Each structure stands twice: as structure tokens, then as C-alpha cells.
Structure 1
Amino acid sequence: MGLFSNRVDRGTLKPGDHIYSWRAAYIYAHHGIYIGDDRVIHFTRHGHEVGTGTVLDHLLVSSSPARSPLSCSACTPPEVDHGVISSCLDCFLDGGILYRFEYAVSPILFVAKVRGGTCTLGASDPADIVIHRANYLLNNGFGHYNVLKNNCEDFAIYCKTGLVVVEQRSMGLSGQTASILSAPQWLLGRTV
């Protein structure tokens, strides 16, 4: 893993890896869990979603791939409408580059990372537990999608650790959300 990039080759993927691909000119990343056999389980806006009530609703497009699973012979449309779907790696990447989210990184590397949403200090559970959680959520859902409070990164981190952040604050749980929201505050000399 580098300071600026967690880019990986497909051949290095292992079942249980938390992967992501940048979208919309690197404004945000879409996250999922690689389960093997070229398959990814990920949380999208496919199901019922809750808007943020901010300008982000207009800036961010759906985290669902632009390629419809209906147009891919390897993917099938989801049977339920709760946002957790399984797709092939190509549909997940949607033409983007493959990156692996890193767990149990050193505090120095964590602080030095330029962008949130690429690594965590937390440790991952074993791959079989990660895959079990992802499959369970594929069948049972992960709640309402909300880009700031319950998104694909939160889903993947929950699958990897079993931990979910529950706060009473109105904004920001995932690393990439926090980094996006802190930028304007930092320019104003405030902290989030």
C-alpha cells in the first residue's frame, strides 16, 4: 500500500477483501466486498434511499454502476429492492480502477494519507466471517442508503469488522464523507 494509492491488480484479490473504485472524477469512491469468483457484494442506492438534504444530493450521482446488471450476462437483477446487490467485478468497477481498502494500518500512515476512505486503524475479521456478513446483508439489507450516514463504505467496514458507527450527529460517518465535509470547515479554520 502506498501513501497515495491502494491500487491493486485483480490477480491479488482474495475473498473477503474490501475493494473500491473512484467515481465522478475522484469526488467519491464506491466500496464493496469481494467474495471470490469475480463477484462483489455492495450497497447501492438501488433501494429506498434517504437524501442528505444538502447540495451533495445534486453533486453526487448514484453509487450504482452505470452499466445495468440487465445488460451484463454475468449479473442478474436483484430480487429485492433494499440496495445490497451482488455483481461481477467489471460491473462493480464500472470502467474504473481497482483499489483495496487497508485495515490495521499504522497510526503514522493513517494520519499521512491524503484522502479519507482508503484505510483504517481497525483490524479486519477473518475472511469467512466477512463473506458471511456480506451474504447475510445481501439477503436482509443494510437499511436505507444515505450518502452521509449509511453508505457503501459503512457497509463494507461493517462486513469487515462487525462494527457500525451510530451517532446522534447529523452528518458524516464514513472516512470519505468526513474528508469531503471537513475540507470547507478547514478552509474556514474550523474543525469537524
Structure 2
Amino acid sequence: MNHIQLVEGDITLATEDAIVNAANPHLLGGGGVDGAIHRAAGPQLLAECRKIPKINGERCPVGEARITTAGQLAARYVVHTVGPIYHSDPAPAAHLAAAYRSSLQLAMAHGCHSVALPAIACGVYGYPLSAAANIALQTCNEPQFKHLHIVFYLFNHEIAEIWRQTLAKFASS
């Protein structure tokens, strides 16, 4: 897992090729990571998101990803993905893994060699941190992603510590 790095800090400062945004299905900004990315990127990001066509009223269904330019961020792209709402999703683990997988695949399809990731679905969507870390790190360690430089930007010490402990377990097995 030497292609995965953990940083306790602000994802809007990431310099990787793409920043993954833990968005809502409408892609029009929101709270948490989504709001921070939209504020830092400026109005161009919202304009780009509005260009994404709606399918059944949503621009991005749970577990899928969409890509836009990054506005005023240092990254070239923002990959928007929607994680599951833990307590109401019928298959939260599968949808969380799909959100990570589709984000990384979309970034690679656009020539990205490095990707900044948040802890998707761990804020208001209520995904338990330990389980989310397990799914995130397991998915990012799949063979097709081994050549990507993946950096998790984890918002606070509690989340970063759980990710560190989970990464250490994977590294020792």
C-alpha cells in the first residue's frame, strides 16, 4: 500500500491531479467537504456542475462519479461522487466501494496520476468511520489502482487516526 498516503488536513489545498468531492446527487454544493470544495474552487465549479445533465432528477446517483474542471483549485479536475446515506441505503458497503472505485476509474480515464480523496460518506451521511476506512483502503488497494498516487485528506485527528490504524492493519497482513 505504498501508493496510499494519509494527510490530516484540508483537501482544498491538495495539489494532486484530481480532487474527489463527496457530493450530493444534485452536485450544486452543500455542507462539509462539498461546501468547502465549492467555496475554494469559486463560481466556475458550480457552473461546470450545472452543465452535467440530470438523469431522473439527479446529476450523479449514489456510487457513481462525474468529472469537471477544478475552478480555482490547484488540481486539474474535481471528481464528484455520491456516497451512501448509511442508515437508509439498502447496500451501503457496496455503494461506498463503488463511489471510490468509480471516482478513481474516472480520474484515470482523464489521465490523472494522483488523486486526493476525502472520507466519503463519513460526515452527515453517517457512515461508521472504521467500516468506511476498511472499505476505502481495500478499494484503493485493488490492482487497477496500484500505479495511482492516492492521498487521503482527512479532516480531523479522529478520522486520520482511524485511517492510520486501518492502513497499518492492511500493511501488516
TM-score relative to the length of structure 2: 0.29
TM-score, normalised via structure 1 length: 0.27
Query: Could you say which structure has the larger radius of gyration?
Result: 1
Compare the two structures and name the one with the higher helix fraction. 2
